[in-house]
Amino acid sequence: MGRTLYEKIWAAHEVASGPGGRSLLYVDRHLIHDGSFHAFEALKAGGRQVRRPDACFATPDHYVPTRGRKRVADIADPMVRGKMEMLAANTAASGIVHYGMDDPRQGIVHVIGPEQGITQPGITLVCGDSHTSTHGAFGAMAFGIGASEVAHVLATQTLWARRAKTLRITVNGALRPGVHSKDIILAVIAKIGADGGAGHALEYAGAAIRALSMEARLTICNMSIEAGARCGMVAPDDTTFQYLEGRPQAPKGADWDRALARWRALPSDADARFDREVELDATALVPMLTWGTSPEDALPVTAVVPEGKPDALRYMGLQPGQALEGLAMDRVFIGSCTNSRIEDLRIAAAVVKGRKAMIPAMVVPGSGLVKQAAEAEGLDRIFRDAGLEWLAPGCSMCVGMNGDLVEAEQRCASTSNRNFEGRQGKGARTHLMSPAMAAAAAVTGRITDVRKLLAH
């Protein structure tokens, strides 16, 4: 019987089996951010060293400021400054590549991994962040780990893990104008629920997935964790290989040819069996957004607020039967590891071009290189001319750090991945949506079906 993509990668990285059905896996790549200080402290306390510094890559993203960026020494907040200094010191002492705050390659860890060619098909990749599932868009087994596990990987380059079940999500058909990958993943989570993927590795397949760019695939795999999954994956293909070729950390010359041969053998075999199967019709999708306090609370923009979930309704200040379209917004956030790549910014800029923002809106590119590319194309001027704020790369308002907050009872149209209570600030009301929909909210001041703006 054939094997799935997940099963092939697992078998290639299983070092040993242990009690409780767990296996010791070899880890190919370890991404590190500015929240890793606990793990380095644990290593020092145990007298351990980083086993493979060459397999680790670090960048500050969670705490890094998005405004007034100069030198680390100039950061006013001593806590934030300390995090930047600790990451620089820990990586320097260990010989780990560090894309620091002053480095143009700095950015959100899940943006720079693909951008630098660190993320590759067939590898195991971990990071102390739940949205590490993002990297599965390249046909990698990628997942988030806790602080103690970060220390374990730093010291041993291995990790104990339990093998997941497999769930294939086939998305047939083709997306219509104004509908994007964010709408696909919101529709998937709404269909299977926030725990629908629990205990599973998700593999996204079908014509609609194959037609997506790498940036769009990254968005879908990013939010696999919001469906409760361990990881999300897309089988590598020519789109993957074209994106990777020539990237700084990608194989070169004969090594590239050998890698390509391995990568082409990774997709799930035709006779591979999945534990579960789910199908979705992309042609029927319309722009989606969330109304409640879980990503599963997602509906088409044309829908009304449903009954049930009284706590969510109370927190969000909504009533059953209330139309989603036309709901007034207080601010807009375009950014996060879900939607801050150059394609996302192009989509948003196309909507705001020639229009004016009606409410405060901020655009936070995912990395310094994304920022440079956007500025070279003039996207920053489009945003600024429309009245949107253009900031420096970081996690920013997705996690409500460094002053990038939504005030209590304010509604935020956000391209991020979580709409939990307090996620963007105490009492903040988050509505998740695509960059196109967030841009439409910025220039209208309310939830607006972006297809109506694209028609003019």
Instruction: Render pLDDT for 323-349 as a digit per residue (tens, 0 to 9).
Output: 999 999 999 999 999 999 999 999 999
pTM of the model: 0.97
Q: State the average pLDDT over residues 206-211.
A: 98
Q: What is the pLDDT of residues 345-392, one digit of tens each?
A: 999 999 999 999 999 999 999 999 999 999 999 999 999 999 999 999
Q: State the average pLDDT over residues 292-312.
A: 97
Residues 309 and 394 reside in one and the same domain: yes
Residues 250 and 354 reside in one and the same domain: no
Residues 237 and 295 reside in one and the same domain: no
Last residue of a domain, one of 285, 315, 342: 285
Per-residue tokens: 172? 């047939």
Q: What is the CATH number of the domain that holds 235?
A: 3.30.499.10
pLDDT tier at 169, thresholds 50, 70, 90: very high
Residues 264 and 293 reside in one and the same domain: no
Residues 129 and 254 reside in one and the same domain: yes
pLDDT at position 119 over 90: yes
Residues 225 and 334 reside in one and the same domain: no
Predicted pLDDT of residue 401: 74
pLDDT tier at 70, thresholds 50, 70, 90: confident
Between CA 148 and CA 326 the distance in angstroms is 46
Domain count, the chain: 2
Angle between helix axes 342-352 and 435-444 (nearest 10 degrees) is 30
Q: What is the CA radius of gyration of the chain?
A: 21
- Beta strands 200-205 and 165-172, pairing class: parallel
Q: State the average pLDDT over residues 223-247.
A: 98
Q: State the average pLDDT over residues 59-85.
A: 92
Cα separations in angstroms, 380 against 112, 357, 377, 387: 20, 14, 8, 11
Q: State the average pLDDT over residues 248-273.
A: 98
pLDDT at position 249 over 90: yes
Q: State the average pLDDT over residues 77-91.
A: 95
pLDDT at position 320 over 90: yes
Neighbours of 344 (CB within 10 A): 32
pLDDT at position 400 over 90: no
Between CA 279 and CA 168 the distance in angstroms is 8
Residues 16 and 46 reside in one and the same domain: yes
Residues 338 and 235 reside in one and the same domain: no
Structural domain boundaries enclosing 388: 289-454
DSSP string for residues in 281-292: EGGG---EEE-S
The answer to whether 171 and 282 are in contact (CB under 8 A) is yes
Between CA 176 and CA 451 the distance in angstroms is 10
Between CA 292 and CA 17 the distance in angstroms is 42
pLDDT tier at 1, thresholds 50, 70, 90: confident
Predicted pLDDT of residue 68: 85
pLDDT at position 20 over 90: no
Between CA 215 and CA 367 the distance in angstroms is 13
Residues 441 and 328 reside in one and the same domain: yes
Last residue of a domain, one of 252, 285, 318: 285
Residues 247 and 341 reside in one and the same domain: no
Between CA 309 and CA 323 the distance in angstroms is 17
Instruction: Determine what percent of the chain falls in helix, strand and coil, rounding each to the nearest 5.
Output: 40, 20, 45
pLDDT at position 456 over 90: no
Predicted pLDDT of residue 220: 98
Residues 144 and 28 reside in one and the same domain: yes
Last residue of a domain, one of 285, 302, 323: 285
Q: What is the pLDDT of residues 34-45, one digit of tens each?
A: 999 999 999 999
Per-residue tokens: 445? 């001041």
pLDDT at position 69 over 90: no
pLDDT at position 394 over 80: yes
pLDDT at position 110 over 90: yes
Residues in the chain: 456
Q: State the average pLDDT over residues 307-319.
A: 97
Beta-bridge partners for 225: none
pLDDT at position 405 over 80: yes
Residues 101 and 197 reside in one and the same domain: yes
